[in-house]
């Protein structure tokens, strides 16, 4: 497994996971349950929420993520 992204928010990791799934790439969020149980401050303490793919899917996964539009700025 290779970590291809670190996210501050679980929803960011889940959106990337969904985009990868739509391209046929299985992605995993190994910190998902930990962050759900302990809150978002914990994700900052561990360096972000990891998004991982199989080693052979790294190049394709990075290409899919690079094609995604940048995240929108939160409303004030």
> Which CATH number do you get for residue 34?
3.30.70
Mean pLDDT across the chain, nearest whole number? 86
pLDDT at residue 47, rounded to an integer: 72
**pLDDT > 70? residue 63:** yes
Percent composition of the chain: helix, strand, coil (DSSP 3-state, to 5): 50, 15, 35
In a domain, 71, yes or no: no
Q: Can you tell me the distance from the alpha carbon of 63 to that of 20, in angstroms, rounded to the nearest whole number? A: 10
Averaged pLDDT for residues 35-40: 69
In a domain, 76, yes or no: no
Domain count, the chain: 1
pLDDT at residue 41, rounded to an integer: 62
In a domain, 72, yes or no: no
**pLDDT > 80? residue 55:** yes
Half-sphere exposure of 39 (CA within 13 A, CB side): 1
Structural domain of residue 25, as residue ranges? 2-66
In a domain, 74, yes or no: no
In a domain, 23, yes or no: yes
In a domain, 75, yes or no: no
**pLDDT > 90? residue 18:** yes
């Amino acid at each position: 497994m290779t970590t291809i992204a670190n996210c501050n928010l679980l929803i960011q990791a889940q959106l990337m996971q969904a985009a990868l799934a739509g391209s046929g790439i299985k992605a995993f969020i190994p910190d998902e349950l930990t962050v759900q149980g302990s809150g978002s401050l914990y994700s900052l303490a561990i360096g972000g929420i990891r998004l991982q793919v199989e080693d052979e899917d790294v190049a394709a996964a990075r290409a899919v993520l690079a094609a995604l539009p940048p995240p929108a700025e939160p409303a004030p």
